[in-house]
Amino acid sequence: MSEQVRTSVTTHCPYCALQCGTRLHHRARGDGPDGARVTVEPDDFPVNQGGLCQKGWTAPAVLRAPDRLCTPLVRDGAGRLAPATWSDALDAVGSRLREIRAAHGPDAVAVFGGGGLTNEKAYLLGKFARLALGTSQIDYNGRFCMSSAAAAGTTAFGMDRGLPFPVTDLADAEAILLAGANPAETMPPLMRHLGRAGALIVIDPRHTPTAQRATLHLRPAPGTDLALALGMLHIAVTEGWYDRDAVQHRTVGFEAAWRRAAAWWPERVERVTGVPVALQREAVRTLCTARRAYVLTGRGAEQHSKGTDTVAAFINLALALGLPGRPGSGYGCLTGQGNGQGGREHGQKADQLPGYRRITDPRARSHIAKVWGVPPEHLPGPGRSAVELLNALGTADGPRALLVFGANPVVSAPDAARVAQSLSRLDLLVVADFVPSETARLADVVLPVTQWAEEEGTLTNLEGRVLRRRRLLSPPPGVRSDLSVLRELAVRLGEPPDRYPDEPRLVFEELRRASEGGTADYSGISYPRLDAGEALYWPCPERPGGPAHPGTPRMFLDGFAHPDGRARFQEVDHREPAETPDDRYPLWATTGRVLAQYQSGSQTRRVPDLLRAAPETIVEIHPDTAARAGVADGDLAWVQSARGRVTARVRLVPSLRTDTVFLPFHYPDDGRANLLTHAALDPRSKMPEFKVSAVRVGPAGPRAASG
């Protein structure tokens, strides 16, 4: 039994980017494992205000997962993963990495990170990749989350922060436009704020639980959100609703953007999207006449091969109405993963260095090199983005080894069968995780690491607020922290051990210096300030000799982050997805999440209550469409695209479009929805096209009770 560290701590939920405040309690007596004696209660933190969703309430159950990894595993000569000592496992990894680098160069080794890693882990992982390995080949699963919004936001505003205002501001809105998000299922406590708005306008092809609570629900055909956003801008301008003063004095590029939107008159938009003209006009009028209004985007708008342009079109609408930077109004993106914001700020992305710096910027390279104690030329350049990296694995000019920390791409990546094939071509696959995920089961070496209640650190939620994760328990015997693993591997690769601290506080102190002067400046944030309860939003620069910077909860009030202080309209136009339905594959498939599961499901599928609530892959389908396909409610059906076939339980949904089916992506094996999805990439963000695939449906077996 592991050593008890504390009897209770104030910390945060391990799941989504709301990072709901929680209080964990560890009972002093009990015969079960530590996890069985951990209970959770909601804290009165601003984003959740005393509420939690199903996942938050059941989070302690993951601590007692029966298949928790507590011993390193190394694949033996018979092809089996066998227990090994830490020394043997790390020696084996270090030796193989040295051999592969010597034979094929540093870019023959790649790293794949995760948006759930703490800021300290994300920072040290990027440093390890670029110094200890010397590779440019690092990216992370956050590329699948909000890279399109990040690219569009950076272009428009000069920087990217999911919400440039506190979540609590939303409760005072008179109108909110929510494009491509279903927070009633994906982050339910957010509905406490959205539900107080005067009007909620939801854009979603599905009549989701969020759409059911909307004042207006616009249901565009999958893949046509961009056309709808252009049409809404058209109505705002032609009917005189837009803010001429804000456009003239706070932005540039309106005329070029308007030339594109001018061609999207309401009747044309209705033909392309299916959204009636009357609903278009009502939505625009509601938004434009509100004194306090917000435009928010989510994965439904972003996970397309034109996702950046789609988000840019919604930002254009927000800018035309003068919302960003107006007190009580704004534009924001609902970040998905727990540390999706911080995870991309400090060096996991292929093109970024800590502090949200561009890796191609000579000044950024010089600053980071100085902090790391190496010449700037020692730092590699940009590498491949996530999908490009996964597809290149084991090819003639691609990486031959991969280290995975905090991700499960066998389930979460598009065209999942191809990803599994890519992993099988590797000379070495190393996975650090706390449960045997589907990706870990394919590994040559599995390293058992700590999970949320067993570690210290920081995370950054969707508001850009930096939060403290606090440890309740020591990890089980045989389990090490990711920071310790990185340090030990770095030493085996010839690096000095003091370059890779394994104490989170020490890593954060270095992160502060590395981020100083960058877009995401954390230099004025410290553990003592966070532990004292200060609400610190980046940028929060250090003020030597002066009063501490209070942080920046609300951005753009005095200007945008471009040198001239003005926001940029972006010239975008609608285009078709990478593939469209045809005679062979006549339906749209769109993927997403359900209330009781999270991401690849490697955690939530190990929680009995959540698994009972959502035990298997389902396919939502309209009754008429199901009848034509020869399937009935409760049947097993196959859903097939040009890339693969999924088996799913049929759920009839009369409110669904007849041309669309929906599948959640949380499940393994032949239930992986990402066997269907297309790996076509957005040219700017490199986001894959998760939200639209052409499919067909047919019967896979008789009706049976799920369970």
User: Which residues, other chains included, contact 701 with Cβ-Cβ below 8 Å and sequence gap of 6+?
Assistant: 635, 636
Average pLDDT value over all residues in the chain = 95
Instruction: Give the mean pLDDT of 280-301.
Output: 97
**pLDDT at position 49:** 95
**pLDDT at position 349:** 95
User: Which residues, other chains included, contact 346 with Cβ-Cβ below 8 Å and sequence gap of 6+?
Assistant: 119, 122, 123, 126, 354, 355, 511, 514, 515, 520
User: Are the beta carbons of 160 and 149 closer than 8 angstroms?
Assistant: yes
In tens, the pLDDT along 467-510 reads 999 999 999 999 999 999 999 999 999 999 999 999 999 999 99
In tens, the pLDDT along 147-202 reads 999 999 999 999 999 999 999 999 999 999 999 999 999 999 999 999 999 999 99
Give the number of other CB atoms < 10 A from CB of residue 66: 7
Per-residue pLDDT at 98 exceeds 70: yes
Quick one: DSSP state of residue 2?
A: P
**pLDDT at position 359:** 97
Q: How confident is the model at residue 2 (pLDDT cuts 50, 70, 90)?
A: very low
In tens, the pLDDT along 542-555 reads 999 889 999 999 99
Tokens of 698: 């047919």
CA dihedral 148, 364, 457, 141 (to 10 degrees): 30
- As a whole number of angstroms, the distance between CA 128 and CA 111 comes to 9
Strand order in the sheet with 200-203: 216-218, 200-203, 175-179, 293-297, 330-333
- As a whole number of angstroms, the distance between CA 409 and CA 417 comes to 10
Instruction: Give the type of residue at 147.
Output: S
- As a whole number of angstroms, the distance between CA 11 and CA 26 comes to 13
- Whether the CA torsion 6, 12, 13, 15 is positive or negative: it is negative
Give the number of other CB atoms < 10 A from CB of residue 160: 25
| Domains of the chain, earliest start first | 8-64 (2.20.25.90), 73-140+341-449+481-505 (3.40.50.740), 147-333 (3.40.228.10), 587-701 (2.40.40.20)
Per-residue pLDDT at 706 exceeds 50: no
User: Which residues, other chains included, contact 253 with Cβ-Cβ below 8 Å and sequence gap of 6+?
Assistant: 568, 569, 570, 571
- As a whole number of angstroms, the distance between CA 55 and CA 596 comes to 6
Polymer length of the chain: 707
**pLDDT at position 161:** 95
Per-residue pLDDT at 324 exceeds 50: yes
- As a whole number of angstroms, the distance between CA 68 and CA 82 comes to 15
Give the number of other CB atoms < 10 A from CB of residue 474: 16
Instruction: Give the mean pLDDT of 54-78.
Output: 96
> In the beta sheet, which residues pair with residue 652?
621
Pick the closest to residue 38 from 59, 16, 69 (CA basis): 59
Per-residue pLDDT at 664 exceeds 80: yes
In tens, the pLDDT along 331-376 reads 999 988 989 999 989 999 999 999 999 999 999 999 999 999 999 9
- As a whole number of angstroms, the distance between CA 204 and CA 297 comes to 11
In tens, the pLDDT along 666-680 reads 999 999 999 999 999
- Scan for tokens 């594109």, then name that residue: 260
Quick one: DSSP state of residue 495?
A: -
Q: State how beta strands 688-689 and 401-405 pair.
A: unpaired
- Whether the CA torsion 311, 313, 315, 318 is positive or negative: it is negative
Buried b (16+ CB within 10 A) or exposed e, 535-557: ebbbbbbbeeeeeebebbbbbbe
Strands (E), 348-410: 352-353, 357-358, 401-405
Q: State how beta strands 357-358 and 352-353 pair.
A: antiparallel
**pLDDT at position 139:** 97
**pLDDT at position 702:** 60
Backbone angles phi, psi at 295, to 5 degrees: -115, 125
- As a whole number of angstroms, the distance between CA 65 and CA 38 comes to 13
Instruction: Give the mean pLDDT of 646-664.
Output: 97
- As a whole number of angstroms, the distance between CA 163 and CA 562 comes to 18
**pLDDT at position 34:** 53
Tokens of 2: 């592991």
Provide the 3-class DSSP secondary structure of residue 16.
Answer: coil
- As a whole number of angstroms, the distance between CA 568 and CA 255 comes to 11
- As a whole number of angstroms, the distance between CA 280 and CA 290 comes to 16
Tokens of 145: 């989350």
More confident site: 146 or 629: 629
> In the beta sheet, which residues pair with residue 353?
357
Q: How confident is the model at residue 392 (pLDDT cuts 50, 70, 90)?
A: very high
Cis omega (within 30 of 0) on the bond before 539? Answer: yes
Backbone angles phi, psi at 505, to 5 degrees: -60, -40
- Scan for tokens 């789609």, then name that residue: 310
The model's pTM: 0.96
Give me the helix-helix angle, 504-515 and 362-372, nearest 10°.
Answer: 150
Quick one: DSSP state of residue 131?
A: I
More confident site: 455 or 32: 455
In tens, the pLDDT along 586-624 reads 999 999 999 999 999 999 999 999 999 999 999 999 999
Lowest-confidence region among 4-8, 83-87, 425-429: 4-8
Instruction: Give the mean pLDDT of 382-408.
Output: 97
Per-residue pLDDT at 36 exceeds 70: no
Q: State how beta strands 73-75 and 445-448 pair.
A: antiparallel
Pick the closest to residue 227 from 312, 305, 310 (CA basis): 310
